A and B are shown apart, each in its own frame.
Chain A
Amino acid sequence: MFRQSAIMPLSRDAASRFLPWLIAFMVWLATLALALVLALSTMSEDWKRGMSGTLTVQIVPGPNSTPVAEKERLDAALRLLRQTPAVLSAEPLPGDRIQKLLEPWLGENAVSGALNLPVPVLIDVRLKPGTSIDAKALGATLAAAVPGAMLDDHGVWLERLIELARAVEFVALAILAFIAVAATATVVFATRTGLAIHHEVIELLHVMGARDGYIASQFQRQTFWLSLKGGLVGFLLAAGTLAALGYLLSRIEAGLLPPVGLTPWQWGSLVSVAVCATVISVLTARYTVIRAVGRLP
């Protein structure tokens, strides 16, 4: 095999030393931004899925109310709900479950212990799949039939939460776009530096009959390896960061935060950031060289 050195020693250029690290940094940032987008998108879908088709009825205990009167009000509400055609089931939440839900906020003795605070009765209502309900009308009927009963379809809370998630998603996508622009500008700068350093060899090759594509391929090959190296390092750093964040999230008490995780498909999307960075870099290098060489006579 005829051993042939690279026609242009691009690997010795200063740009070749800093480009992989810049690409690594940008892939790291972009991967984290995309992970945030994917996690938020999954979370809002989960919230929507979990909340749609469910309603919560709250019966606030009246002043000087007796347990018998409370029971009658609960039965009346359950009767009304179960007679509603769209309702699949209506079950009161057991007292110990309500106590557990309140414990993180009010302490262990708030409900059953020394404080013995009055807590509302909660009814978990599930709707038949594929049906919708006029929550406002049902709420009004319920309030008229059972004093102190309030219907909550989680709509307002869910809407605001999803709005927030969408806003964060948008910001993360904007960051992703800025990173792509910055990465492209970096490759353009690095390639132009290479063109300036090796302009004599480029002119020589041009005069000797090298096609523009041949000259560009010298830069493309170099940019491919540098970007691939940078992309790999950036992805590994991002995977490490996400693993560390996942560990920290898992230590936070369940219930305070919804479960956050990425599916294998989403991990695949994260890998594609490094692949896209490499492809964008190579195409940018090619375009930059072809444009510059195209100005030669």
Chain B
Amino acid sequence: MPENEEIIRFQNVGMRYGVGKEILHDVSFRMQAGSFYFLTGASGAGKSTLLRLMYLAQRPSRGLVTLFGHDLATTPRHVLPALRRRIGVVFQDFRLIDHLTATENVALPLRLAGASDAQIREHVPQLLKWVGLGDHLDARPTTLSGGQKQRVAIARAVIARPHLLLADEPTGNVDDSIAMRLMHLLEELHRIGTTIVVATHNQQLVSRFAHPQLHLVNGELSQALPSPGAGASG
């Protein structure tokens, strides 16, 4: 994906579930290819809903969403799977499939993209080793710790080299040292050109990295540049 190309554009997006109150109000932002954003805000501010709109699990109630240059309001339904395959998602609750091994879970996006067995055999164990799970290739999620599950989830999200990686509280279930390791892993991916959005309510973590923030307060979005001195540990 060429740098400076617009990956996401939200314009006056509003979101409500059913007839309930609006969760997101007039959200507008643009995101260029190769950027790294933190999506911050208190619990219930609408971070997960905004992410769901970004990975096309939800349609906005109003407003314009453009993804990889496609206006989603006019994009035919049959085009959406190809757009979704360009997005990797790390879910807050991992969403690993319990009866599949770590290898099989990570291989899923490759299978959906039609990769051959040889490609899966080559890339999946390599990536699992890279995230420190080389000894757990055949382990099922139920036998893994929270941090290990998190790493399988990250491996699954990045295995197909997505253009956009969305991570919902990726450090929420792990201790500080593992959280830092995961963040460095995301930094690595950013360095090779992946656009990354990390949703977190952990301001301490955000302050360690020199990346801009999209900050949500009660469904309203504000953008903030990294604070001076940020990124000292990143």
Q: A2-B117, A2-B121, A5-B99 are in contact. Are A208 and B84 (CB under 8 A)?
A: yes
Q: Of B16-24, B51-59, B224-232, which stretch is located at the interface?
A: B51-59
Q: A4-B107, A4-B111, A200-B95 are in contact. Are A207 and B100 (CB under 8 A)?
A: no
0/1 per residue, A23-44, Cβ < 8 Å to B? 0000000000000000000000
Does A210 belong to the interface (CB within 8 Å)? yes
Q: Measured between C-beta atoms, what is the minimum distance from A195 to chain B in Å?
A: 16
Q: Which residues of B (76-131) have their CB < 8 Å from a CB of A?
A: 77-78, 81-87, 89, 95, 97, 99-101, 104, 107-109, 111-113, 117-118, 120-121
Q: Measured between C-beta atoms, what is the minimum distance from B233 to chain A in Å?
A: 32
Work out how many contacts link A and B, with CB atoms closer than 8 A. 57
Residue contact A201 to B107, C-beta cutoff 8 Å: no
Q: A1-B117, A7-B97 are in contact. Are A207 and B84 (CB under 8 A)?
A: yes
Q: What chain A residues lie within 8 Å of B117 (beta carbons)?
A: 1-2
Q: What chain B residues lie within 8 Å of A152 (beta carbons)?
A: none
When the two chains form the complex, which single residue of B57, B77, B113, B118 contacts A207, counting CB atoms closer than 8 Å? B57
How many residues in B have their beta carbons less than 8 Å from beta carbons of A? 31
Residue contact B84 to A209, C-beta cutoff 8 Å: yes
Q: Measured between C-beta atoms, what is the minimum distance from B13 to chain A in Å?
A: 14
Does A203 belong to the interface (CB within 8 Å)? yes
From DSSP, what is the main secondary structure of chain A's interface residues?
Answer: loop
Residue contact B89 to A207, C-beta cutoff 8 Å: yes
User: Complex Cα distance A13/B99, Å?
Assistant: 13
Does A205 belong to the interface (CB within 8 Å)? yes
Query: Looking across the interface, which residue of chain B has its beta carbon closest to that of A205?
Result: B112
Does A17 belong to the interface (CB within 8 Å)? no
Residue contact A297 to B100, C-beta cutoff 8 Å: no
Residue contact A209 to B85, C-beta cutoff 8 Å: yes
Q: What chain B residues lie within 8 Å of A210 (beta carbons)?
A: 81, 112
Q: Measured between C-beta atoms, what is the minimum distance from A105 to chain B in Å?
A: 72
User: Complex Cα distance A1/B117, Å?
Assistant: 6
Other contacts beyond A203-B57, A206-B57, A207-B55: 12, CB < 8 A: A2-B118, A7-B97, A7-B100, A7-B108, A204-B95, A205-B108, A208-B85, A208-B89, A209-B82, A209-B113, A297-B57, A297-B59
Residues on A lying within 8 angstroms of B by beta carbon are: 1-2, 4-5, 7, 9, 200-201, 203-211, 214, 294, 297
